[in-house]
Structure 1
Amino acid sequence: MTPASDDVVSPRTVKALREAMKRLLDGTPKHTDGRLTKANLGREAGVSHATLFRAKTILTEWDTALDAVGKRTPQQTRHDQEAHSLRASLTKKTDECTQLRRRLEAAATVIATLHHENTALRQQLGRKGTVVSLRTPAADSFRELTDRRASSSAALRNDLDGDNT
């Protein structure tokens, strides 16, 4: 588009404003934060507010372009999508933590119950005082056999030691 008769800006200014508009709408600003505002359009083009507002054709194009894109830059759209994704992830992790906390509390309750039952059983066992002997006739026979072998081995060693001297 060529400047209209009511535009009182130079062709160089028109070119700078159109390039700045393209960068802002593409989400690739060089000199601003990328928000789609007229002030950022002027800063991006390197022109004053007064010069920007004398470029009526450019401002009309700007307003039309903003209506088409919905006043959202690709950066802002990506940022919003990322924020939405992070919120969803946070919600999921919070739910997992809540579930794990409930399981931990249930396990602690079971452990406490088992501890009290164990304590009660130990006290009940201590009151009876009954001791059960683990000695059996077979164990006694085995002990006697091993004692005899040990004494005969010692006697044999003594005999051998006595022969060597």
Structure 2
Amino acid sequence: MTRPTSTETTTDDVSVQTVKALRAAMERLLAGRPTCTDGRLVKENLYREAGVSRATMNRAHSILAEWDRRTAATDARTPGEARRDDELHELRVEVKNLKRERTQLQGRLDASATVIAALHHDNAALRDELKGCRTVVALDGHRAARTDVIGPC
């Protein structure tokens, strides 16, 4: 096997064509536009996306250093994963707020049920008290008879 001449190699002992392929693959992966991988920001996807062997990629030390630096800044997440994680975070915050609101509403409901039960008990006691009294006098008839004395209402 012959080695490429010095005009065809870079300082990492890989061809210029390999460097270009790795850089193009890196840009596609970081932009979230992979062509032949699942888009995860892992080295396996880098060399597969570039169409080179793992051994060839491993000889491109400057490319790997750049890859490590750039993927560290993205937490090794694709743009789609980052959007998904952001949306998941927002949904978790919303669920937390809804749980708090539900707890407050449940407290109001419990307090209302207690008041209604007390009013029902008082109403039942008043009805029992009225059963022991004489007949109930309608006030409308009583008022109509007294309009001449007091005057119209």
Higher relative helix content: 1
1:89 corresponds, among 83, 89, 94, to 94
Question: In structure 2, what is the equivalent of residue 131 of structure 1?
Answer: 135
Moved over 6 A (4+): none
Structure 2: give runs of 5+ residues left out of the alignment: 1-7, 146-153
Q: Is the 8 A contact 1:32 1:43 kept in 2?
A: yes
The change in CA–CA distance for 1:3 and 1:117 in structure 2 (over 3 A counts) is farther
| Partner deviation per Cα, 1:95-148 (whole Å, 9 max, x = no partner) | 1111111111111111111111111111111122x1145566x78xxxxxxxxx
1:119 corresponds, among 119, 124, 129, to 124
Aligned residue pairs, count: 135
The structure having more radius of gyration, on CA atoms, is 1
Q: Is the 8 A contact 1:6 1:56 kept in 2?
A: yes
CA distance in 2, matches of 1:37, 1:86: 28
CA distance in 2, matches of 1:10, 1:131: 110
- The normalised TM-score by structure 1 is 0.64
Structure 1: give runs of 5+ residues left out of the alignment: 140-165
- The normalised TM-score by structure 2 is 0.69
Question: In structure 1, what is the equivalent of residue 149 of structure 2?
Answer: none
Question: In structure 2, what is the equivalent of residue 149 of structure 1?
Answer: none
Match for 2:10: what amino acid?
A
Question: In structure 1, what is the equivalent of residue 10 of structure 2?
Answer: 4
Question: In structure 2, what is the equivalent of residue 15 of structure 1?
Answer: 20
Question: In structure 2, what is the equivalent of residue 107 of structure 1?
Answer: 112
Q: Helix, strand or coil: the match of 1:85?
A: helix
Q: Helix, strand or coil: the match of 1:36?
A: coil
Q: Is the 8 A contact 2:32 2:80 kept in 1?
A: yes
The change in CA–CA distance for 1:68 and 1:95 in structure 2 (over 3 A counts) is closer
